[in-house]
Amino acid sequence: MALTKKQISENYRNKHREKIRENARRNAAERYKDPEERRKMIEAVKRSYIKYRSQRLIQGKQRSKTIKIEVMTYYSKGVPMCECCEIKDIEFLSIDHVNNDGAEHRRKTGIKGGEDMYRWLRRNDYPLGFRVLCMNCQLATRLGICPHQKGKSL
């Protein structure tokens, strides 16, 4: 399957994120050496932020939902659903560490969860050791065994 221009661009940005940020910082520092120019630029950015804030919030929520669906689809091998009870409501689904080492993984990577986790999974080419569970099944497995699995084996 061929990648679209958007996917190629996103892959490049993900791989070279720090280099791109450093170049932007350097360019901004050179461009706005004059304090008055810098103040004007900061004011323009603030006005733009205020003007487009609601649109950016909506776009951010849509991006979060899109990446969540992408990750859930990958780990579900098709339709996003709980591996245990097969619930398909995306709002209830989450990523589970198969070996119950989520706290250790978050400490090592500095990931808090949610969209950060989904982005990390995508950036690292969907590593093994993760699965999709609904919140109920995930909590039940942390406390012992999920009620759906009594009498079954995973």
Percent share of the chain, pLDDT over 90: 38
Nearest CA to 129 among 108, 152, 150, 146? 108
- The confidence score (pLDDT) of residue 110 equals 87
Per residue in 27-48, pLDDT (tens digit) is 877 777 788 888 888 899 899 9
Per residue in 116-148, pLDDT (tens digit) is 999 999 988 899 999 999 999 988 888 888 887
Query: Residues with Cβ < 8 Å from 63, sequence gap 6 or more?
Result: 115
- Report the mean per-residue pLDDT for the chain: 86
- The confidence score (pLDDT) of residue 1 equals 57
pTM of the model: 0.67
